[in-house]
Amino acid sequence: MLGNAVQRLAARLPRWAKEPLGLLRDQVKAVAYQGRGRWCPVCGSESARFCSFSVVRREDAQCVHCGSVERHRLGWLFLHMRTDLFDGRPKRMLHVAPEACFAARLRHWPGIDYLTADLSSPHAMVKMDVTAIPYGDEFFDVIYCSHVLEHVPDDRRAMRELCRVLKRRGWAILLVPILAERTFEDPSVVDPAERFRRFGQADHVRAYGPDYVERLREAGFTVQTVKASELANAEQVVAMGLSAASGDIYYCTKR
């Protein structure tokens, strides 16, 4: 009860007051989690453990230093180990619904012409509907789009758009949560509580299954699925918190 009251009070504060309080909160959290045992590949920081995260709380999930969660750490690891993103050669990159822990690093990385886009976030560089991307064919060398398509009513159209704007020799990482044995969607479900029950989150419009790959292929992609165990050994998987919640990587190229 007290914690909720504090959160409501903090929400009413002006931005100039929130920022120093946020910094203080982060410093206190960093001290509380000080130690070794967990390592974040995104920010390179160590901690005794990761903190809890999400509406349905996941323990040992979020980095106390940069805010990354399981899928971010796996994605960042893959970007470094299996792609040419950081080789310094010029690349035009589209980052849909940008994660703050990534954007802070990618926007200044040598060689990356970095563009963030989102339909509603004020933090993105451009406002963009992923089903109607306002850029020409084969415009981007790299696309990163994580946990977006499960929010999009016409996800097949969005996939075709992402394929259209990707260069012939480019690549895209298109991540979604896999929550079902086979993809399930019902456009008639609009009640947030019912969506939460059926699709795992109040603003999700479907629950994807492993057949997600089939949808990507239908849109024109060749898809490679990569698991955490292919990038790190068992001890490293534990240290980086790459649990089942991190999911798999879907590495897509144009067919």
pLDDT digits (tens, 9 = 90+) for 225-251: 999 999 999 999 999 999 888 999 999
The residues, ordered by sequence, that sit 6+ positions from 22 with a Cβ below 8 Å of its Cβ are none
Instruction: Report, as an integer, the average pLDDT of 73-87.
Output: 97
For the chain, the average pLDDT equals: 90
> What pTM was estimated for this model as a whole?
0.87
3-state DSSP call for residue 158?
helix
The residues, ordered by sequence, that sit 6+ positions from 15 with a Cβ below 8 Å of its Cβ are none
Largest Cα span, the chain: 55
Q: Any idea of the CA torsion for 234, 236, 237, 241, to the nearest 10 degrees?
A: 140
Lowest mean pLDDT segment, chosen from 49-53, 146-150, 155-159, 207-211: 49-53
Q: How far apart are CA 30 and CA 123, in angstroms?
A: 25
Q: What percentage of residues in the chain have a pLDDT greater than 70?
A: 87
Q: How far apart are CA 216 and CA 173, in angstroms?
A: 11
Q: How far apart are CA 58 and CA 131, in angstroms?
A: 32
Q: Does the structure show a pLDDT above 70 at 130? A: yes
Instruction: Report, as an integer, the average pLDDT of 65-83.
Output: 96
Instruction: Quickly count: other Cβ atoms within 10 Å of residue 217's Cβ.
Output: 14
What is the per-residue pLDDT for 2?
Answer: 39
Q: How far apart are CA 106 and CA 202, in angstroms?
A: 30
Closest by CA position to 68, among listed 51, 56, 80: 51
Q: What CATH code would you report for 70-254?
A: 3.40.50.150
Instruction: Quickly count: other Cβ atoms within 10 Å of residue 75's Cβ.
Output: 22
What is the per-residue pLDDT for 67?
Answer: 92
Q: Is 35 left (phi over 0), alpha (psi -120 to 50) or beta?
A: left
3-state DSSP call for residue 244?
helix
Instruction: Report, as an integer, the average pLDDT of 136-149.
Output: 98
What is the per-residue pLDDT for 12?
Answer: 56
Instruction: Report, as an integer, the average pLDDT of 127-142.
Output: 98
Domain ranges of the chain: 2-62, 70-254
> What's the token pair of residue 60?
């040992």
> What's the token pair of residue 45?
């920081």
For residue range 156-202, list pLDDT tens digits in order.
Answer: 999 999 999 999 999 999 999 999 999 999 999 999 999 999 999 99
Q: What percentage of residues in the chain have a pLDDT greater than 90?
A: 81
What is the per-residue pLDDT for 30?
Answer: 61
For residue range 9-35, list pLDDT tens digits in order.
Answer: 455 545 444 445 444 455 566 677 788
Closest by CA position to 29, among listed 47, 15, 11: 47
